[in-house]
Amino acid sequence: MIRVLLPSLVVALLVSGCGAGHDDAADARPSVPAGAERSTPPSPDSTASRPPRPRRAPSSHPTRPPGRDSRGKSAMVLPVLGRSARSATLAHLLAVDVMPTPTRDGSWVVEDQGPEGDRAVGACQKTPLVSIGALTATRRVYAADAGGARATQVVARFADAKSAWRAHEVLAAWREDCETRLDFPRKDVGPMQDVPVAAGVGASYAAAYGPRPEAQGVSAGFGIVRKGSYLSIVDISSPPAEWPQRRDPARAAVRRIARTFG
């Protein structure tokens, strides 16, 4: 009887031992909360089958600084200021019936008008006003309807009043050494004199230069008007025979230009 029971007992113990080993392995796995499998990121194998995203070609345009539009601040503002400044300078150019003439019965016609360009005004000016700080400058050239008189006026706008003052100082310095630079046998540059004006600051000086025969030379007057950030220069010239002896047309022009700023 004992021999019959022993094999049965061994079989029962083996069966119960295998079941206990399976439950221990299940307890060893970490528990996963319900629904957690829905938020699990996809495996690398699941994304490998997707086509790769195309890479964007690098832009051929340089990256602009943050806070600036595609044109940049200067492209937006400067042209607008330039147009407004040019319109303002036109208001200070004298009309043909206002510009003084060397002869009292003379008259002018406008020969040319536009940007200042690269031509100096008068015998003493070295370079245009735009080369010494002017933001914009407008020129008007007058010619006598009879005789050899000519006149040129330039109105320039600077960044501020101090810049216009500096340009005025440069013009005065050019007058100082003008006689040494004039390549004529006869040359005479007078002193800079103040001109009382209704608005701003006015000054002028006279000059005469040319070959030895005086009749073949030039008599001229040069004037300066400065008001705020604006500066205007005017040069009036004629053959010596047409130049008045007791008045300087350039001084009269300075006073009339100053009135346009009043």
pLDDT of amino acid 262? 87
CA dist 250 → 85, 191, 204, 219, 244 (Å): 25, 14, 7, 11, 11
Instruction: Name residues of the chain where pLDDT drops below 50.
Output: 1-7, 9-50, 57-81
Sign of CA dihedral 121, 209, 236, 110: negative
pLDDT of amino acid 164? 98
Which structural domains are found in the chain, ordered by start? 73-259 (3.40.1000.70)
pLDDT of amino acid 6? 42
Q: How far is CA 233 from the centre of its chain?
A: 23
Give the CA dihedral 159, 163, 168, 174, nearest 10 degrees. -110
Name the β-bridge partners of 1: none
pLDDT of amino acid 88? 78
pLDDT of amino acid 69? 42
pLDDT of amino acid 85? 55
pLDDT of amino acid 9? 44
DSSP states of 22-80 as a string? HHHHHHHSPP--TTGGGSSPPPHHHHHTSPPPPPPPPPSSPPPPTT--TT-HHHHHHHH
Per residue in 13-39, pLDDT (tens digit) is 443 444 444 443 333 343 334 444 433
Phi first, then psi: what are they for 241, rounded to 5°?
-65, -25
Helices and strands (H and E) in the chain: how many:
6, 8
Tokens standing for residue 38: 């829905």
